Structure 1
Amino acid sequence: MNATVMEKPAAISCDPRTRVTKSLLGYGVLAGAVYVVTAAVQAATRSGFDPTRHDISLLANGGLGWIQITNFALSGLMVLAAAIGMRRALSGERGGKWGPLLVGGYGIGLIAAGVFTADPAFGFPAGAPDRPTTISWHGTAHMFAGAIGFLALIAACGVFARRFAKEGRRGWAVYSAVTGVLFLAGFAGIASGSGDVATTLAFTAAVLIAWSWLAALSVHLYSYAGVKGATEAEAK
């Protein structure tokens, strides 16, 4: 009797290089989850913090400010890891250079936002002025880091929207483009410094949308890297 040998499907085979790539992409999912959960717990427990008036960056102030500083740094490092995974997964392909580089720029912006803390404002922490009359050097650096990081992520949305459009993936192209537009609108609102409820909540929503997009993109590329790696292995 002849034994029947079943070959392992190519789509699920995984060489060492692909395993590393997929592991790096996994951080793109974890980054947003860590950032959002850590920020949400602080927002719910920090005395005087009002999520309808206060931006998450303000949590880096006060005795427990180190928690948000660590949150910025850790999330930024995970975004950088995901960007490296994207570069490996898309090496030599359309958007395979600038897309990951721009996502990495967002990661660097997050890290810098933790290093340079925002100035206390809108009465948080307790005793802070409602409308500061001056901005410290680290407050200025924080705003600059945030602007660079946010604009990098917005541009990354555009790069990936173009890639998906060229591939005929209309759903992904629209999703990426809309995410970039909404995040730009949220950023423009918060940058105005109005501090009103609508602007603050709109920016929070935009941040959640952006993190969701990054996680979804990482999952998509995670699967893509596995299929690509198997195909390349078969071709050798």
Structure 2
Amino acid sequence: MTALDPTTRRLLTCGVVGPPLFIIAFLVEESLRPGYDLLRQTVSELAIGRYGWQQIANFLVYGVLLLLFAAGLRRATRSVVLPALVVLVAVALIVSGLFVTDPVHTDPTSWHGTVHNIAAIPVFLGVPLLCLVVAVSSLRRRNWGWTVYSTVTAVAMLATIQGLASEAYAGLFQRITIVLGWAWLNLLALRVRAGHLAPSVPRGGEEGCSGSGRVLTDERG
């Protein structure tokens, strides 16, 4: 384990708190929204209408928390790759909040709906990519648990997000994707915060070497 300074631990705590907070927020919102169909409608559609500010705020708060988490990752691991990917996801979430989506399967889409849809790409591809980076890192360290978990999460997210094409169950498949990815991010943050690091993920342009590219897992945990 690696001892972390208080500032780094607080920054990493943002990655622990952010994912469940986002999920709890949209679960409460949808339970209070008359006529909202969680099987068919996406989470982003909660940003439409009179009370849409609640989901907009949810996107923005989660995005900011992930930015702070990325700073903590950088301080804790000295890696460039992982924090950069987290920043990509965080910025995409903030853009998703600033530009409200259109109802699912709307054609044609508005300009702000188009921007929102484009911003969703780094979110739903960025988290699986994060998982695969961690899986490779864990494999090098022979940490089989995190290798398998990260790989399975990446594959499952990429599979379930295809369900957005379904008019009847787009919301359900998106929620499954979100829970899978957000749970993984939460556990990653918990693990790094606990000081479980490994010298595997390289800094930008460098080969993985001791100390300079440490990230997330110990030898066996």
- Which bracket does the TM-score occupy, shorter chain normalised? 0.7 to 0.9
- Secondary structure of the residue aligned to 1:184 is helix
| Structure-2 residue corresponding to 1:68 | 55
Following the alignment from structure 1 to structure 2, what is the Cα–Cα distance between the partners of residues 133 and 149?
Answer: 22
| Structure-1 residue corresponding to 2:154 | 180
- Displacement of 1:201: 1.6
- Secondary structure of the residue aligned to 2:103 is coil
Aligned residues: 200
Q: 1:210 aligns with which of 181, 187, 193?
A: 181
Instruction: Write 1 or 2 for the structure with the bigger share of helix.
Output: 1
4+ residue segments displaced more than 3 Å: 11-14
Query: What root-mean-square deviation, in Å, do the aligned CA atoms of Structure 1 and Structure 2 show?
Result: 2.1
| Structure-1 residue corresponding to 2:41 | 54
| Structure-2 residue corresponding to 1:87 | 74
Following the alignment from structure 1 to structure 2, what is the Cα–Cα distance between the partners of residues 175 and 13?
Answer: 25
- Secondary structure of the residue aligned to 1:53 is coil
Range with greater deviation from structure 2 (102-111 or 56-65): 102-111
Q: 1:102 aligns with which of 62, 85, 100?
A: 85
Q: 1:155 aligns with which of 125, 129, 140?
A: 129
Following the alignment from structure 1 to structure 2, what is the Cα–Cα distance between the partners of residues 71 and 27?
Answer: 14
- Displacement of 1:187: 2.1
- Secondary structure of the residue aligned to 1:224 is coil
- Secondary structure of the residue aligned to 1:168 is coil
Equivalent residue letter for 1:138: H
Residues 165, 173 of structure 1: 8 Å contact kept: yes
| Structure-1 residue corresponding to 2:192 | 221
| Structure-2 residue corresponding to 1:4 | none
TM-score, structure 1 normalization = 0.79
Map Cα deviations across residues 172-199 of structure 1 (whole Å, 9 max, x no partner): 1111111111111122321x3x2222x4
2:138 paired with 1:164: yes
Residues 32, 212 of structure 1: 8 Å contact kept: yes
Residues 41, 103 of structure 2: 8 Å contact kept: no
- Secondary structure of the residue aligned to 1:38 is helix
Residues 2, 196 of structure 2: 8 Å contact kept: no
User: How much identity, in percent, do the aligned residues show?
Assistant: 33
- Displacement of 1:60: 0.3
Map Cα deviations across residues 16-51 of structure 1 (whole Å, 9 max, x no partner): xx2111111101111112101110001101111111
Following the alignment from structure 2 to structure 1, what is the Cα–Cα distance between the partners of residues 135 and 122?
Answer: 20
- Displacement of 1:152: 1.5
Max Rg structure? 1
Residues 100, 156 of structure 1: 8 Å contact kept: no
- Displacement of 1:12: 8.9
Equivalent residue letter for 1:159: V
Residues 105, 153 of structure 1: 8 Å contact kept: no
Note the residue ranges of structure 2 that are not aligned, 5 or more in a row: 200-210, 212-221
| Structure-2 residue corresponding to 1:117 | 100
